[in-house]
Every structure is written in structure tokens, then in C-alpha cells.
């Protein structure tokens, strides 16, 4: 190996390493959080979530909300935004979730209406048993 080919190889190796070192953190930053809410069941009484209202809970360490929506019944959604993980706020007047970080908006079912979030809010398993709402 002569000096020229050695320097070419060295430049290629150092350049590849530098690109990889920059690309990995950038890809991690841009990728949506892969957090799935898992935890012990949470039970609350139906009277705590009147029609048209929402109740914030924590399910398995994940902030979530239970809604009582006219015509749809009870819904349980994670409040963790699917963009970069900020907590969305429920706006009762507009019936939407709004993310304070980059203005992502979601409808009552957690579907993305606008902004950068790449996918809907996570729906949590919910079961109504008598007077109780069971999440999980």
C-alpha cells in the first residue's frame, strides 16, 4: 500500500465514522418515542367522569385521561404526545387535545388533526363493569 491509497483509506474510515456519529443521534432525536403504557389495572367510579368531562389518571407511570363522550361512551387515552413526548392538554370547549410543545392537535379519539405528531395518541384498554371503569 502506497502513501496515497493509505491516506484515501484513512479519510474514508474517518469520514464514515464522523457521519455515523452525527446520524445516529439525529435519527434518535427525530424518531417518535416508542413508549407503550403498561401497568396494573386502575379502577374509578363512573361518577368521577360525568358526561362531557375528562379525568386525568396515571396508568403504569403514564399520564392518561378518561373521557365520557356523548355518543361514544368512555375512552381512555395516553396524554403522551406521539411527536416528542410532551403531555397533551384536553380542551373541553373545542373537544380536542392540544400539545403545548409544537401545537399538535388530536381529536377526541386521539387521531392527529394537525401538527407534527406522526401517529394517534395511544388508546388504553378500558372496560365498564357496573359502576366502575377499569383501565388496563
Residue 83 interacts with ligand FES (CB under 6 A)? yes
CA pair distance 90, 53, nearest whole angstrom? 10
Compose the 85-124 pattern: x for residues touching ligand FES by CB under 6 A, - for all others: -x------------x-xx-x----------xxx-------
Least distance in angstroms from the C-beta of 1 to ligand FES: 50
**DSSP per position, 20-84:** HHHHHHHHHHHSPP------S-EEEEGGGS-TT-EEEEEETTEEEEEEEETTTEEEEEE-B-TTT
Q: Which stretch binds ligand FES (CB under 6 A): 12-20, 55-63, 83-91, 119-127?
A: 83-91
Judged by the rule CB under 6 A, the positions of this chain that interact with ligand FES are 81, 83-84, 86, 99, 101-102, 104, 115-117
Amino acid at each position: 500500500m502506497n502513501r496515497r491509497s493509505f491516506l484515501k483509506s484513512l479519510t474514508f474510515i474517518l469520514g464514515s465514522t464522523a457521519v455515523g456519529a452525527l446520524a445516529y443521534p439525529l435519527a434518535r432525536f427525530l424518531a417518535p418515542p416508542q413508549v407503550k403504557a403498561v401497568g396494573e389495572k386502575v379502577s374509578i367510579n363512573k361518577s368521577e367522569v360525568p358526561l362531557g368531562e375528562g379525568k386525568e389518571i396515571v396508568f403504569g407511570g403514564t399520564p392518561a385521561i378518561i373521557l365520557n363522550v356523548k355518543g361514544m361512551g368512555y375512552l381512555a387515552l395516553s396524554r403522551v404526545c406521539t411527536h416528542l413526548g410532551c403531555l397533551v392538554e384536553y380542551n373541553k370547549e373545542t373537544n380536542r387535545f392540544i400539545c403545548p410543545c409544537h401545537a399538535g392537535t388530536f381529536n377526541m379519539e386521539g387521531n392527529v388533526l394537525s401538527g407534527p405528531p406522526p401517529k394517534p395518541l395511544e388508546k388504553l384498554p378500558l372496560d365498564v363493569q357496573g359502576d366502575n371503569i377499569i383501565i388496563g
